[in-house]
Structure formats: C-alpha cells, structure tokens
Structure 1
Amino acid sequence: MTLGDGAIDYVNLVLAVGRHDANFVDAYYGPEAWKAVAEAGEPRPLAALRTEAQRLLEGLATISDGEAIRRDYLLGQLGAVEAHIARLQGHVFSFADEAEALYQVRPPVVPEATFDAALARLDQILPGSGSVQARYQQAREKVLVPVDRVDAVFQAAIAEARERTRRHATLPTTDHFRVEYVTGKSWSAYNWYQGGGSSVIQVNLDLPIAMDRALDLAAHEGYPGHHVYNALLEQRFARPEPEGRGWVEFTVYPLFSPQSLIAEGTANFGIEVAFPGAERLAFERDVLFPLAGLDPAEAERWARVQTEMKTLAFADNEAARGYLDGQLDRAQAEAFLVKYSLRTEAQAAQRLRFIDTYRSYVINYNLGEQLVRDWVNRQGGTIEQPTRRWEVFVDLISSPRLPKGLGL
C-alpha cells in the first residue's frame, strides 16, 4: 500500500460511512464518481466498513517512506472513523473515552466550584437583584439583535472579519460565501464548505442572536474560521499539482474526527486573533451596536460578562459527561445547563438536543479553543505579539496537523 492508495480508500470509506450517519460527512468536493458509487444501492454493512478501516490502519502503519505528517494525518483520521463505526454498531463509550477516540484529547473534569466562582464574579457585574441566571437573561435582552437587523449586523461583522483576515492570509481568488437564514436546527450557525473557495453560511433564526454572537458567528463560521480553514486546506493540499499537492484525503471532511478539534478550536480562537481585546469592544460598540439599534453604553458591561461566560462554556462538557454517562437524566442535565451556563429552560433543552446528536463533539468548542490558544502562545503568538500570533495561527489552519501532532 502507498500513501496515495490509502488516501483514496480513506475517502471512499468516509463516504460509505456517511450512508449510515447523515451528519458524518461535513464536506466533500472530490470526484463525483466516488460519491455516486458510495450512494448507489444499499449501504455497505457496518461490519464490512469497520474491517476496511482496520485494514487501512494496519497497512498505513507499516509505511515508512513518504511524508510522515501525511501518514500521521491519515492514521489519526482513520482511527476516529473506526471508533465512530464501532459506536454506530452499538459500542457504548464513556464520554471521556469517546472524546479521546474521536478527537485525540481526554477532556479533564471541570469541578462545579470553578463554575460557582464564575457565577460569583458575574453576581458583581450584572445589575439588579435576584438570581444571576435571571439577571443575565435580563442583561442579554438588552443586547439582542432585532430580527430585521440581523442581516445588516451579520454582513458588517463578516466584512470586517474578512478584511482583517486578508491582511494576514492569502485566500483563493475564488473566495466567496453566501449567507442563508434558516430555522428548525439544533445549532446556531453552520458553515457548509462547497469546495472551490466557496461556502454557504447558515444562521439559525430560531435562536435570538445577542450582539456578541453576531461577531462570534461571523468570525467562527467565516473569517478566519471554518471558511478560511477549509479554503486554505483545499488550496494547499487538495488541489492538484502544481497548485497544491494532490492529497485527495483533503477532499472529504468527516465531522467526528480529530480534524474537528482543530477546526472548532481555531474557529473560536480566531475570533480573538482577528478582534483582540479592546479592538473587539470598539468595533461592537461603535459599529455593530448602532447598526442593531442598541445602546452602545451596554457594550462594555456585556464584554465583561462574556469574559466570565468563557469559563461557564465548559459547563456544556460536564452536562454532556453526566448525561451521556448516565449520571444525569434529561431533566437533571437541563437543570445543570440552566444553573451553570445561564440558559433559559428552552435554551437548555435545545442544547441537550444538540448533545443528543453530536455527543462529545461539544468539547471541540471550549477545550479546543483553550488548547489552540495555549499552543499558539507557546509558539510565541501571544497577545503582545499580534503579527507573530497571526503567523502561527495561519500556519496551523493551513496544515494537516492533528491534536496529537501538536502535543495537545
């Protein structure tokens, strides 16, 4: 077996697994003939697909020539594919075991005392009296973007994020995206990469969008987040030589794989890279708040609230851990999210529906961001060195490195 042969078999295996799980293939822009074969007839049995994954893992592990980074990428991705097939067959993973098998990291337990401390700090920040949860929701009501102004705010946010990204990353000449507004989804927004430097970014209007989320979604789904990550990988690796390297494994993106920890972690950390500290506050206060018809005087306090919400974001992991490991029933998991993520009951129920579908994937947002930030800082990309920070960040989102390769 050569790396090239293994890569072709990997792509076709991922497409075949996608017949059993509609959420598995996040993007595909390889040969249409391969997709047609995968979609023809009855789905291949899971047992046969798992055997194929194991064959590829064994074969690729014996290859000593060629590029080690390519082999390691394929081995990491295939290990996750094999684990996901096992789960589809009925194998029951613990939350931590599943996260490690799919995303190459074992999420540490965050004690409730950490969340309680963040809530205590929020108690001092939020105005009014009553519970922190109620006061948080009252403060959030003041920064919700009216539905009829969502598009104007989102377009302004993504235009600024794109301009800032273009100063540091060479994007394809075909760089393009389209925004769609949807309902009935368990997620708040999604980037569907189409190949050829093009994406469809969908925003879920079922979930009211607070001002911080407008900029978060623009940067996370677009620039320098998912759209840029996929476009740079396609440009550098998937495109045929001499433009790229002709590595066909980058024409498919299996969602439940270690690639997702890098994708989600960089998409979240990329917000901070593009809009560091006071720059984010200034842009939201001076541009986005007025566009939304909101009071700019709310911007500074809301920014302080969001700093504490970074800690409370890890409550999603602990709710998912307890729920998926059977230590919390549905009502208890929703109550945990209400208490520690400050969601309403309806928002907590929506988040648990996300966990029903995507399970341990939730770690990729918060833990992924933390691990990526730490790695970039170790490479000298600190907030005090913004140019270096961009260099390290762009190098990461245009490389095939996975969490193990980064020592995460």
Structure 2
Amino acid sequence: MDASTSNPLVREYLLLGLRFDRIEEGYVDSFTGDPALRRAVAAEPQPDPADLARQADRLLGELAAVDTLEQSRADYIGAHLRALACAGRKFAGEQVGFIDEVEAYFDVHIGKGDPERYRQAHRQLDELLGGSGSLADRMRSYRANEQIAPARLEQCIHAFSSALRDRVRAEYPLPDAETITYEVVTDKPWSGFNYYHGDYKSTVAVNADLKQQMSNLPRLVAHESYPGHHTEHCRKEAGLVEGRGQAEQTIFLVNTPQCLMAEGLADLALYAAIGDGVSAATGSGQGWGAWAREIYADLGLRFDGESAQAVSEATAALAEVRQDAALMLHDEHRDVDEVVEFLKRWLLVDDERARQMLRFLSSPLWRAYTSTYVEGYRLLRGWLDARPDDVSLTQRFGTLLDEPLIPSALRAA
C-alpha cells in the first residue's frame, strides 16, 4: 500500500492541503506524493474556504483519538491543521488579527523590535563604512560597488553551488541522483526560490531584478540549495518518506509551521556549512567571508570578504525591521508611504527597493511570511547555539534537516 493511503487521517490531511491550492495557486509549494491524490482533488468541485476550515477543525478533533501515530507526528500534523483552519477562515472573509494570523500559521508569537538595536546597528555600520555623507548614501554606494554584473551572475551561482555541494555532501550524504537546475528570472517579489520536484531534484530561481550583491550570493545559494531548502527536501524525502513512511512530509504548504522551520534552517545554512570564524564550527576557524573571497578570486573577481562579513553581521541586527513593517501595515493599519519611509530609514535602502519589499509584505499569500525569516532565524539559531557540549554544530543542524520538528518543540527543548 502507498504510504499516502496507509493512514486515513494522513491521507485526509494531504487531500485538504491540495484543496488549498485550488483556492490560492501556490499554496502548495511542493507535492511529491501519490499523483492520484492531486488528480482526485482536481476533479472535485471548486472548494469552499469555510468548508476547508471546518475540515481542518474536524481532522484536528479526530487526531486526538488516533493511536497509530507517534507523538511527534501527531504534534506536527496538529500544528499544520491549525494553520490550515486559520487560512480557511481568512479565505472565507473572516477578520483575523495579524498577530493571531501569524501565530496560527507559524506556531510563534510576534512583537515589534527594539529601535535602540537598530540605532546600534547603524552606529556599527557608520564605523565600518567610513567616509563622509549620510549613512544611507554610503550604504547605497557600498551596495552598488558589490553588485554582480548580470553577465557573471550564473557563473558565480554555479561556483558557489559546486563548492557548497562538495562540502555539504561530505557531512550530510545525499542520493547520487540529486540535482539542481538554476534559472535567472525577473519580475518576482523574492530574491530566490526553490522549486522542489521530488526524486531529489530542484529548480532554483534567482531574481536578477534585485541586482545581486557579492556578499549576499553565497548566503542565497546556501539558503536555496546546500545545505538549505534543497538539502532539507532531499534528506526528508529519503529519511522520513522513503525510510519511515511519513507521507505528511510529501506536501509543503505555504503559511504553516514547516515554513518557519525551513526558512530558519535555510537562513542558517551558510553558518552551518562554513561557520562564522568565531566558533570552531568548521574546525579551521575560517569565516564565510574569507571562504567566499577565494571562490570569487578563482573567477577573477575581487571581494573583500572580511569587510563584507562584518557589514553583513551588522545589518543582520536590522532583520526585525521587515517584521515591524508588516505589523505597521497589517496590525496598525499605517499608511503605505509611512511604511515605505520606515523601511528606507532603518534598512538604508532607496525608494525603489523599499517598495519592492512592500510588494512582498502586501501580497495576500505572502504578507505574513516575513515572520518565518525573522522568528525562524532567532529560534533556530538559539537552539543550535544551546546544544550540549558533546554535540557538534554539524550534528545539531543535521537534526533540523532530518526530523519533523515544529517551533513549539524547539521552544520546549
């Protein structure tokens, strides 16, 4: 019997998730399970969002009586059913407060960041960048000097992907058949996106509209590919689906706890693979900046990796600004132009870049998603760094790649 039909409740969960893709195309980020389930949903009448919410609530009630699922699987499915119940109510027109929406989707409670932390980050950047003129102007000049020429972008992507793949496969074995196809795209609200097709294959799209920077590209490739999204998909398909029959892992749904876990993991991918030069994570003490400098040098490109790493670490303290902007927009109902000015002030970006960010924050499908990056990184980095003395960073990160964890499980740990 196919794994997707071996447990009736898991099968109903998969069908329910697939129905959401008929309400909002793209809600199913990937589905690698039984194609017959997708065909069955496609043949159904157009679903009613309120009915989908009721289905999620019903399955949540039935879950408590199921004794054939180990507790971690039941907790995982339950958290995702709560997210789908909220999504169904939202699609049906019910008013749900933004903070409550984020909590239902991602199993995390959010609040606004500390402006003093942002001011401190600006002071650090002021010292690092030097020169004269406004900090925003100097930051824009720094970013402009870091831009990768469009004609060199694909070459740089493949160089970092190859270097990371060799490194990651030595620590986290992957099936021989695993492959990634890279595409450079335009007119998207994101900088990069992983499309996982199953059978250990992904397409990774990189948005050329955002003028990719040398300091960001290693992080983006690690995030989308090795040891980020692609690696996680492959490891879970091999270990949880093929190895342990957990068919619920064949579907990846937008606006669910698995997104927060996946984005937090992916944002930590470069740290896990290379280290930061402070811990002994790599055994050599080399930070990612020095590592990336060597790869760019092989391509004939000059890159001040140590300075880029210092600037990146300072700007990381500004990550919560994006979540603050989402709260201003959807919880406090501030004027769009006010939110744009907030983003420009703290993130030191121009009007065009701020409005590109706002496009993502305003999308009906993606408006809550910024919290997956902010809260995902915070939660998972704390969990990684709180590991026991006898557990290496590689081992701890491997648990994130291999196990069906949810945010509340990490908080409990």
| Contact kept in structure 1, 2:53 and 2:87, CA below 8 Å | no
Deviations 1:39-95 (A, max 9, x none): 225321112211111110000022345311111111011111111111111223333
What is the aligned partner in structure 1 of residue 370 from structure 2?
362
Alignment partner of 1:19: what SS? Answer: helix
Match among 209, 213, 216 for residue 216 of structure 2: 213
- Tell me how far 1:224 sits from its aligned partner: 0.4
- Tell me how far 1:151 sits from its aligned partner: 0.9
What is the aligned partner in structure 2 of residue 118 from structure 1?
121
Which whole-Å CA distance do the structure 2 matches of 1:49 and 1:76 have between them? 16
| Contact kept in structure 2, 1:3 and 1:71, CA below 8 Å | no
Which whole-Å CA distance do the structure 2 matches of 1:207 and 1:42 have between them? 40
1:188 aligns with 2:191: yes
- Tell me how far 1:294 sits from its aligned partner: 4.1
Alignment partner of 2:25: what SS? Answer: coil
What is the aligned partner in structure 2 of residue 391 from structure 1?
395
1:342 aligns with 2:348: yes
- Tell me how far 1:404 sits from its aligned partner: 1.0
Deviations 1:152-209 (A, max 9, x none): 1111111111111112112122211100111111001100000011100011111100
What is the aligned partner in structure 1 of residue 249 from structure 2?
250
Match among 66, 80, 97 for residue 83 of structure 2: 80
- The code of the aligned residue for 2:400 comes to L
Match among 368, 382, 394 for residue 374 of structure 1: 382
Which whole-Å CA distance do the structure 2 matches of 1:89 and 1:271 have between them? 40
1:159 aligns with 2:162: yes
Alignment partner of 1:360: what SS? Answer: coil
1:166-205 aligned at under 5 Å gives the runs 166-205=169-208
1:142-153 aligned at under 5 Å gives the runs 142-153=145-156
Alignment partner of 1:109: what SS? Answer: coil
Alignment partner of 2:182: what SS? Answer: strand
- Tell me how far 1:276 sits from its aligned partner: 1.1
What is the aligned partner in structure 2 of residue 261 from structure 1?
260
Alignment partner of 1:160: what SS? Answer: helix
- The code of the aligned residue for 2:49 comes to L
TM-score by length of 1: 0.93
Cα separation, partners in 2 of 1:199 and 1:406, compared to 1, 3 Å: same
TM-score by length of 2: 0.92
- The code of the aligned residue for 2:253 comes to P
Which whole-Å CA distance do the structure 2 matches of 1:33 and 1:271 have between them? 38
| Contact kept in structure 1, 2:190 and 2:207, CA below 8 Å | yes
| Contact kept in structure 1, 2:196 and 2:203, CA below 8 Å | yes
Alignment partner of 2:339: what SS? Answer: helix
Instruction: Tell me whether 279-288 or 160-169 shows the greater mean CA deviation.
Output: 279-288
1:102 aligns with 2:105: yes
| Contact kept in structure 1, 2:15 and 2:41, CA below 8 Å | yes
| Contact kept in structure 1, 2:99 and 2:331, CA below 8 Å | no
Which whole-Å CA distance do the structure 2 matches of 1:62 and 1:38 have between them? 26
Alignment partner of 1:55: what SS? Answer: helix
Structure 2 residue runs without a partner (length 5+) = 277-285
Which whole-Å CA distance do the structure 1 matches of 2:347 and 2:194 have between them? 24
Which whole-Å CA distance do the structure 1 matches of 2:201 and 2:216 have between them? 23
1:91 aligns with 2:94: yes
| Contact kept in structure 2, 1:236 and 1:398, CA below 8 Å | yes
- The code of the aligned residue for 2:356 comes to Q
Which whole-Å CA distance do the structure 1 matches of 2:168 and 2:388 have between them? 19
- The code of the aligned residue for 2:252 comes to Y
Structure 1 residue runs without a partner (length 5+) = none
- Tell me how far 1:304 sits from its aligned partner: 1.3
- Across the aligned residues of Structure 1 and Structure 2, the Cα RMSD in angstroms comes to 1.7
What is the aligned partner in structure 2 of residue 295 from structure 1?
302
Which whole-Å CA distance do the structure 1 matches of 2:262 and 2:136 have between them? 31
- The code of the aligned residue for 2:327 comes to R
| Contact kept in structure 2, 1:186 and 1:351, CA below 8 Å | yes
Match among 384, 399, 402 for residue 406 of structure 2: 402
- The code of the aligned residue for 2:311 comes to V
What is the aligned partner in structure 2 of residue 285 from structure 1?
293
1:332 aligns with 2:342: no
Which whole-Å CA distance do the structure 2 matches of 1:362 and 1:67 have between them? 31
| Contact kept in structure 2, 1:143 and 1:294, CA below 8 Å | no
What is the aligned partner in structure 2 of residue 23 from structure 1?
26
